[in-house]
Structure 1
Amino acid sequence: MLSNWLFWAILSASFAALTAIFAKVGLQGVDSDFATLIRTVLIVLILLAWVSFLGKWQNPLWLSGKTWLFLSLSAVATGASWLCYFRALQMGHASQVAPVDKLSVVLVAIFAVIFLGERPSGQEYAGIALITTGVLMIALK
């Protein structure tokens, strides 16, 4: 049985893969920045419905300043990532852009060591090296 985090991570990867395919088709004939805006508005509407349906709405004023700061930084990083991703998808092949985008996996591992004090095992470092190698093989073909 898949543990909870692994189940959700596999679903995330599956939806991310579909995102690349759907976005590549949807970007035909539209500016990538405008397409990102449309996508973002739709995501907000879907999440409003989802959070309401599950009864998870909270008063945002109850969140700490630190929470607001880091969620805001995360939102800026997400927006910048989406803008760059859609621009790359519009210009390149989905089969190249999406794997290079997954270099984020390597960067997360590096940033987690630097900023969060995480310590990957030797096996995890080997996996990170393999991902890096794969990304470079795709990007530099």
Structure 2
Amino acid sequence: MLRSWRFWALLSAAFAALTAILAKVGVSGVPSDVATFVRTLVILGLTGAILAASGQAADLTRIPGRSAAFLVLSGLATGASWLCYFRALSLGDAARVAPIDKLSVVLVAIFGVVLLGETLSPSHWLGIALIAAGAVLVAIGA
């Protein structure tokens, strides 16, 4: 099970759900950018501890230049996403913000096909369309 991408993806979804609820409570009365900074410090500390405990810290010096460039760009995109997400949570309901945020699933599918040359079957596209429709319904619902 620990080698299954599905297992880790489901855990990611569960933690993302907790993130939305905990962040919604945490951002109350706190500027959203400050809340994002605190969250980032916690993540930095946690991942640093994991690298140190697992002996992977030395691998930081062995990251190829191309990988480093794309990881930096990914980090910038993550930061922008978190800043926007916390701002949205400070302004809206978690139950409405999170589904809109999950439109990222739709965009990943499109970007994966267009930019990475990945292929999706008709049933995959149907699932992507249903995710998009669900997000829209949650966003416009009363």
The TM-score bracket by the shorter chain reads over 0.9
So what's the TM-score if we normalise by structure 1? 0.96
Going from structure 1 to structure 2, the CA distance change for 1:125 and 1:3 (only over 3 Å counts) comes to farther
Name the CA distance, whole Å, in 2 between partners of 1:36 and 1:16: 15
For residues 74 and 118 of structure 2, the distance between their equivalents in structure 1, rounded to whole angstroms, comes to 19
What amino acid is aligned across from residue 79 of structure 1 in structure 2? G
1:52 maps onto 2:86 in alignment: no
Identity %: 55
TM-score by length of 2: 0.95
Any gaps of 5 or more consecutive residues in structure 1?
none
Q: Which runs of 4+ in 1 moved over 2 A?
A: 58-62
**RMSD (CA atoms):** 1.3
Asked whether 1:91 is paired with 2:91, we answer yes
| 1:15 alignment partner in structure 2 | 15
Q: What are the Cα deviations for residues 31-89 of structure 1, in whole angstroms up to 9, with x where unaligned?
A: 00011001101110011111111222224332211111100100000000000000000
Output the CA distance in 2 between the equivalents of 1:86 and 1:29: 12
Compared CA separation, residues 65 and 3, structure 1 to 2 (3 A)? closer
Q: Which runs of 5+ in 2 are unaligned?
A: none
The whole-number CA distance in structure 2 between the counterparts of 1:53 and 1:28 is 34
Length, aligned pairs only: 141
Question: CA–CA distance in 2 between the matches of 1:97 and 1:119?
Answer: 29
* 1:4 match: 4
Q: Distance in 1 between matches of 2:25 and 2:43?
A: 18
